[in-house]
Structure 1
Amino acid sequence: MSRLRRDPREERATHRLTDGGRPRWGLEAPPASGRLRRDPRREIEAARVPGLQRLRLDRTSRSIIPVIPSPVEPLPKAAPTIRIVEEPAFLVAVVPDAPGGRLTPLDRQLLGAARDLADVAGGATLVLAFGTVDGLGLAGADRVITMAGGGSEDPSARAIALATALSALHPRHVLFPESAKGGDLARRLVARTGEELFTGAENLTGKLVTRAAANRRIEQRMAPPGLMTLAPDAHSPHAGPAHEAREIPAPDVFPSGGHGAILSVEDLPVAADALSLAEADFVISAGSGIADFDLFRALARALGATPGASRMVCDAGLMPRAAQVGASGTVLEAACYFALGISGAPQHLQGVARCEHVVAVNTDLHAAMVERAGLAIIADAHPVMSALLVALRAEAQE
């Protein structure tokens, strides 16, 4: 062997400190074998980088090199990617409902289906909107035409405008939502143009469109025709990058002297508490955590919301049975649902599954309604209602 054999007894005798008492060992003197013994604690102290709260060791050399951490600058946010289709091979037109200038969940599903049809062979989506609509680029729209003026609130006038625009644009497909407004407009357009309409599509691809028939015992399928309506929850919304949503000029859809059968349309205001829950766009509900129902009704009037309630409140007779929200009451299609003191039973969550926005006020951080909500306030509902009333009154006086 090239290495000397160690003698532990001799090493202990060499390093033993003769100060009496408990045996102690000094590591400064070299062992008899000639091999230096390591002191891990001393090595760590020698390699420690000073000035840092967290332990950091410098293994590059025996000397201590101070390291001053440089401030970390936040990375610049990348600009959002916008997809641009300059010269589309064809167009897929979409006519959304867009009440109040916002896309409904069915409108977003409609644009997602149109996006899939357009991406098959280099096409582009075209939105024909009666008024300004927000968020079309994120929903997958490449081109936007705003069909304004000329009695556009009249459904027959809208059908005339669409027939004229589509004859000038020649899209490959035209998609409507299967809703009260969109379905009526699609059928009026078919009656005017005589084209074939495929209603209630439940599965839509570039080669095939299907729907259930005969009480869902059979399935009808065919190649996608020119005009189609899409059933709710039949397609997922667009989840890819945002698109350009380029505004292009609208064709002259109202020539001189042309108009529909209705010359004037006027929206009549309706009290929110007179609406049924199925028709309401904004619903505020009280749960078992609400004791002051006069305050609750005052807040509902100030917000212009339709009042609702949970099953426990209706069973107690504090609210009418028609106000019950849930699977055993009314399933909502509201844009906003405001839940006060509602924990969120499974049947109640089924009733608000199709609501676009949910706001919850509850003292329980782990309540199911808080988990479902897009905005949650963890507090007692009564001070929150009082604060909202004060804020609404102050805003009304400005």
Structure 2
Amino acid sequence: MKIIACAEARADRIEPVSFEMIEAARSLAGDGDEVIVFFAGKPAADAAVAFGAADRLVAAHSDEAELVPAESYARILREVIAAEDAALVLVPYSASGLDIAAEVAARKGWPLVAYVNAVTHDADGIRATAQMYGGKLLAECQVTLPAVLMVNPGAFAEAVPAALAANKVREIDASGHVRNGKVKLVAVELPDPADVDLATAERIVCVGRGVGDAGNIDPVRNLAALLNAEIAGSRPVVDSGWLPRARQVGKSGRKVKPKLYFALGVSGAPEHLEGMAQAGVIVAVNTDANAPIFNVAHYGVTCDLSELVETLTEKLQAASG
């Protein structure tokens, strides 16, 4: 069986989720199976020296665009699937992946399972565990091959970057697909990290909608200072203007891997989990015992957020003298 792991790039760098797709594919590959990375983007040379955890790389590149739009990516991917006679395709749950996975599955007539958290391979095909209702329910899905799986970032560890031998790399000129596609890249706008880089923070205290209102942010900020941590927020908090966008964690914000991550009043929607599920230790505080954040938390508390912040702040102040 041939398994295609889809990789992504943003501007001049490979997205970390690409390595997670390789690890997911490798976990399914048995003796005699082959893991093939499909990459479409400008830094094709970077892909060749990074994806050594796979058996082969098919790299599509275009010098005419910084990014290959999802429409063109999906079209080239379908051609690669046919040429390789692949039986399973893993696509990351991302802004592009939402378009790519659906189009490929529909045009190939293959089953698609989205929001996948775990997957195993047996004689009957693929058994996938997928999130439903924002992660509050988990569905066990039995899927026959060939199939497409859209995998949640953070569900798998990242494969170790390594170089591939030149004879294991096949390059495709994607310029024609990009030029003739209906979707045109207008510009690439990267987030401004401003005065903080959450990606390098060792401790993060993140607040979600459960914080209540902007007036409750300051006590959390004080707690973060005592922990020598950066304060961050989920998308609803940032959209409300309570914290700047540079401090947003999640799919549309920053992906972080701190040693310690406090999730205060964060429900744990898939978009947020994508940004923090690989943290070393996750402590979740939420009054909803069924909140999806508890599926990834190492420690969980169902209590009043304000009371916990106040008590913990007092304990840390007393300990510090």
Category of TM-score, reference length = shorter chain: 0.5 to 0.7
TM alignment of 1:232-251, pairs within 5 A: 232-238=153-159, 244=164, 246=166, 247-250=168-171
Specify the alignment match of 1:147 in structure 2.
Answer: 60
Establish whether residue 113 from structure 1 lines up as the match of residue 113 from structure 2: no
Separation in structure 2 between the aligned mates of residue 206 and residue 266 of structure 1, nearest angstrom: 40
CA 1:346/1:356 → structure 2, altered by over 3 Å: closer, same or farther?
A: closer
Separation in structure 1 between the aligned mates of residue 14 and residue 189 of structure 2, nearest angstrom: 23
One-letter identity of the residue aligned with 1:210: A
Specify the alignment match of 1:161 in structure 2.
Answer: 76
Question: Offset at 1:226?
Answer: 2.3
Q: Kindly indicate which of the two structures has a greater share of residues assigned to helix.
A: 2
TM alignment of 1:1-398, pairs within 5 A: 90-100=1-11, 102-118=13-29, 120-131=30-41, 132=43, 133-134=46-47, 136-137=50-51, 140-149=53-62, 153-207=68-122, 208-212=126-130, 213=132, 215-216=136-137, 218-223=139-144, 225-238=146-159, 244=164, 246=166, 247-250=168-171, 259-268=180-189, 271-272=192-193, 311-312=221-222, 321-323=242-244, 330-331=248-249, 334=254, 347=262, 353-354=276-277
Unpaired stretches in structure 2, ≥5 consecutive residues: 205-218, 226-230, 232-240, 267-271, 281-321
Question: Offset at 1:266?
Answer: 2.6
Question: Offset at 1:259?
Answer: 2.1
One-letter identity of the residue aligned with 1:322: L
| 8 A contact 1:178–1:200 mirrored in 2 | yes
TM-score, normalized by length of structure 2?
Answer: 0.54
- Greater than 6 Å deviation, 4+ residue runs: 252-258, 283-287, 348-352
Aligned length: 230
| 8 A contact 1:175–1:230 mirrored in 2 | yes
Separation in structure 1 between the aligned mates of residue 174 and residue 185 of structure 2, nearest angstrom: 18
Question: Offset at 1:128?
Answer: 0.9
One-letter identity of the residue aligned with 2:87: R
TM-score, normalized by length of structure 1?
Answer: 0.45
Q: Alpha-carbon deviations, 1:15-68, whole Å to 9, x = none?
A: xxxxxxxxxxxxxxxxxxxxxxxxxxxxxxxxxxxxxxxxxxxxxxxxxxxxxx
Unpaired stretches in structure 1, ≥5 consecutive residues: 1-89, 288-308, 358-398
Aligned residue for 1:322, secondary structure, equals coil
Question: Offset at 1:265?
Answer: 3.4
Q: Alpha-carbon deviations, 1:197-220, whole Å to 9, x = none?
A: 121222212223222447516533
Separation in structure 1 between the aligned mates of residue 19 and residue 147 of structure 2, nearest angstrom: 20
| 8 A contact 2:68–2:178 mirrored in 1 | no
Question: Offset at 1:284?
Answer: 8.0
Bigger Rg over Cα: 1
One-letter identity of the residue aligned with 1:260: G
Higher relative contact order (CA 8 A, sep 6+): 2
CA 1:313/1:322 → structure 2, altered by over 3 Å: closer, same or farther?
A: farther
Root-mean-square deviation (CA), in Å? 4.7
| 8 A contact 2:88–2:147 mirrored in 1 | yes
